[in-house]
Structure 1
Amino acid sequence: MLRNVFLALIALVIAVGGGTLSAWYAVNRFDGFGALSIGQWTGHPDAGTSLSDPYAKARAAREGAFPLGSAEGLAFYAYSDDQGKTLDRRCTYKIEGNSPNSRFWTLYAADRALTALEPGADRLPAIHSRQVFRQEDGRFIVNVSPKAQPGNWLATAGSGRMVLVMTLYDTPVGSNSGLVDMKFPAIRRTSCDG
């Protein structure tokens, strides 16, 4: 009798503990189903739609996020550079390439909770497609750094990991047509103070 009670308690602890840990992992660490990865950038085309998976809905509710619908736009996140190293606020990066297929895009740096970094006084916290300087062939280079840089400069501050967030507005990238040439700018680390 005591053995059966003990086994039932062990099963209950495993069930409750395993369920809690799997739910925590799904909401905090799991990228979700239907992720679209292009180079270092990852987006979730179904976020904000009825096709969104339950984990994505739970993550959005926990973070207080208000994802754009499929007709409005799509956010892409970069957590690492082209060498697979985690993005660090103390390092300098070059984001180089052509504009993704969209009518308008914005780019900003955020912490791991996706809260925009405050770069400090007299520094722009974001850059967008209508203010970026371009080369003759249409390509652009954005320098992401805590130190002032020539040309397009996205300022960062502090220390620790960061995420680059590029939001595309009025874009066909998330569609399933397969007709969209999906190229995103590469992220290359050029130096690091930490």
Structure 2
Amino acid sequence: MQIINNVAKKKNSGQLIRSAAAFGVKQVFIVGKKKDVSFFGSQGSQRRVDLKFFNGLSEMKDHCTQQQITVCGIEIGEGAKSVEMHPFRGPTAFIVGNEGHGMEPREMDICDHFVYIPQYGDGTASLNVYVAGSIVFHHFGMWAKYQETPVTGAKFDVNSEPLVPLGTYTEEDLAKREARQRKREEKERLEATESNSEELVNKGL
């Protein structure tokens, strides 16, 4: 699983989802409103992972606890273990920090443990969030022994059937969708009634 929260650059959300889809991540937990999430850069991969929306970090953490999902922060810091050690603990949801200032204290508080990516050059202090996510997803896939996707020509095969076209929504999202649907149906009913009334008037009835 992958967690998206507080990603500053909109294109990074889409690219994170694309990387998640490439490395076998099946669910993406998005904290916040759907309208605030950009899928730019995902190349349509958001339709091939299960998008689950949460109103806040605490709600998302409660879900992980109930489902026995470990939350792993991708962050350089004290106590973090090298991703090369594969210190994973079963079903895991990964969260990356903000591009500018890293993970916030409230994000770190929900993490069960942390991993970092060793660097071997001194030309930059850190990696872009979707690059960091990609590396960790790849290591997790190796640790979990995911089966490699078949290749056709020079590209990996893509499932022709989207996993979940519309993603998964919170109860609040579903309630809003139902309310909008009722409003549309009521509008259509009124328009139909008005149309019938006009026809009767035109016929002189």
Structure-2-length-normalised TM-score: 0.22
Give the strand-richer structure, 1 or 2: 1
More contact order relative to length (CA 8 Å, sep ≥ 6): 1
Structure 1 or 2, whichever has the larger Rg, is 2
